[in-house]
Structure 1
Amino acid sequence: MASDENILDVRGLLCPLPVLKARKRLGALPPGAVLRVEATDPASVIDVPHFCSESGHELLDQSEEDGVFTFRIRRS
């Protein structure tokens, strides 16, 4: 993990909370900053990419391991 990343742990939270918390955290970061979101809600696989495309943030990558979905988002 890059040292310039911020981590948001929203494991255990259900829709729409992971996206709402990511939006709030991204708003506090400078443009170009990377936020790593860790979620367990299966809906986040749909919600987070949709949020990124609607808000203009760049979804750098997403993965899943042991039921934890990880998204790396670059703030626009």
Structure 2
Amino acid sequence: MGEAKKIDRVLDLSGMLGPNPSLITRKRLGDLVRGETLEVICSERSVRKAILALCRNSLYEVIETREENGLSSFIIRK
């Protein structure tokens, strides 16, 4: 059985469009202490792509992704 992922904070961006979800995510990730995790939940494909690109181009590690009932969620570690 897999190890449960510790989630320190949750950010629900369901239904949000445009650049705001990425900006909000960047701010929340910046507020984390090194080693803490943020779960980000979104419903829009464009937001999903933007958040993954943000993590890829920064010091944040996506440690888990899930898709369920039209929602994507990511656990991201600083």
TM interval, shorter chain, is: 0.7 to 0.9
Number of aligned residue pairs: give it. 75
Task: Provide the identity percentage.
Answer: 33
Instruction: Structure 1 unaligned segments of length 5 or more: list them.
Output: none
Residues 12 and 62 of structure 1: CA distance in aligned 2, closer, same or farther (over 3 Å): same
Structure 2 matches for 1:15-30, cutoff 5 A? 15-30=18-33
1:52 alignment partner, SS class: helix
Q: 1:57 corresponds to which residue?
A: 60
Residues 3 and 54 of structure 1: CA distance in aligned 2, closer, same or farther (over 3 Å): closer
Residue of structure 1 aligned with 2:14, choices 8, 11, 16: 11
Give the TM-score of the pair, scaled to structure 1: 0.86
Q: State the one-letter code of the partner of 1:45.
A: R
C-alpha distance in 1, partners of 2:48/2:14?
13
